[in-house]
């Protein structure tokens, strides 16, 4: 479900739209929603060294240098074409190793990050594995927590969120519960939504 469907709704309207309440879902509702939507996890194919290598040849910088090599060879500047070819080779090798190491680090980080989240179900607070989180769950977040899914803010007290990885802004963003007059489709303007990243 697109996040902007909830930006112009009050907290009560949001809960009603998700067939939920301030007491959260019942176990039966959660089980039915899980059956309908499946686990709350990003499906990834992992990463392979081949796909990372292929990506190195898909950059505008590579195309620019490749055209420069062809032009140099065409006009008879063989030394220039050799120098530019060596730049291409270095760019591909360095880019490949940096990206491969980064992908490997991310993969290892995913294994050590806690996968639990606090929710309100059957009228009481519970800790569940975040893959069992479903639309309509009421989630509790504290300072330092990471969002287990995209969430509509229902209640807050001086709530600041670090969105630097999606907006590029280094300052924390203040989140609110109020609805907007229209659906806000821009992530950086949707101040009543918390995004998973």
Opening angle at CA 137, ends 34 and 116, nearest 5: 80
Out of 58, 92, 112, a domain closes at 112
pLDDT value of residue 165? 74
- pLDDT given at position 74: 92
Residue that finishes a domain, picked among 112, 138, 166 = 112
The pTM of this model reads 0.64
Could you tell me if 118 and 190 lie in one domain? yes
Q: What is the mean pLDDT of each run of 10 residues along the chain (197 residues)?
A: 82 91 91 92 71 88 91 92 93 91 79 80 91 93 86 89 79 88 82 84
Asked whether residue 74 is assigned to any structural domain, the reply reads yes
Could you tell me if 146 and 175 lie in one domain? yes
Residue given tokens 């301030």 in the structure block: 22
Q: How many domains are there within the chain?
A: 2
Nearest CA to 91 out of 48, 58, 47 is that of 58
DSSP, res 143: T
Same domain, yes or no: 16 and 86: no
Question: Tell me, what's the pLDDT at 116?
Answer: 87
What integer pLDDT is reported at residue 72 of this predicted model?
Answer: 92
Q: How many angstroms separate the CA atoms of 165 and 25, rounded?
A: 31
CA dihedral (54, 58, 62, 68) positive or negative:
positive
Structural domain for 179, as ranges: 3-39+114-194
Q: How far, CA to CA in Å, does 139 sit from each of 142, 149, 189?
A: 10, 9, 22
108 and 118 fall within a common domain: no
Residues 29 and 7 in one domain: yes
Helix (H) or strand (E) holding 16: helix 11-17
Are 130 and 182 within one domain?
yes
Q: Which of 75, 91, 112 is the last residue of a domain?
A: 112
Task: Provide the H-helix boundaries in 38-144.
Answer: 49-56, 60-74, 78-112
**CATH number of residue 182's parent domain:** 2.70.150.10
Whether 44 maps to a domain, the answer reads: no
């Amino acid at each position: 479900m697109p996040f902007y469907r909830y930006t112009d709704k009050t907290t009560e309207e949001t809960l009603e739209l998700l067939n939920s309440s301030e007491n959260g879902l019942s176990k039966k509702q959660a089980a039915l929603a899980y059956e309908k939507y499946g686990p709350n996890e990003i499906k990834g194919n992992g990463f392979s060294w081949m796909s990372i290598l292929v990506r190195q040849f898909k950059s505008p910088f590579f195309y620019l240098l490749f055209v420069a090599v062809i032009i140099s060879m065409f006009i008879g500047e063989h030394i220039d074409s050799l120098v530019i070819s060596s730049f291409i080779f270095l760019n591909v090798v360095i880019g490949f190793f940096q990206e491969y190491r980064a992908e490997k680090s991310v993969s290892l980080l995913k294994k050590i990050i806690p996968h639990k989240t606090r929710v309100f179900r059957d009228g009481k607070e519970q800790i569940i594995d975040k893959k069992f989180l479903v639309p309509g769950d009421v989630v509790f977040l504290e300072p330092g927590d990471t969002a287990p899914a995209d969430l509509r803010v229902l209640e807050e007290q001086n709530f600041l969120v670090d969105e630097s990885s999606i907006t590029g802004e280094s300052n924390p963003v203040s989140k609110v519960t109020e609805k907007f007059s229209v659906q806000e489709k821009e992530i950086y303007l949707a101040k009543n939504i918390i995004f998973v990243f």
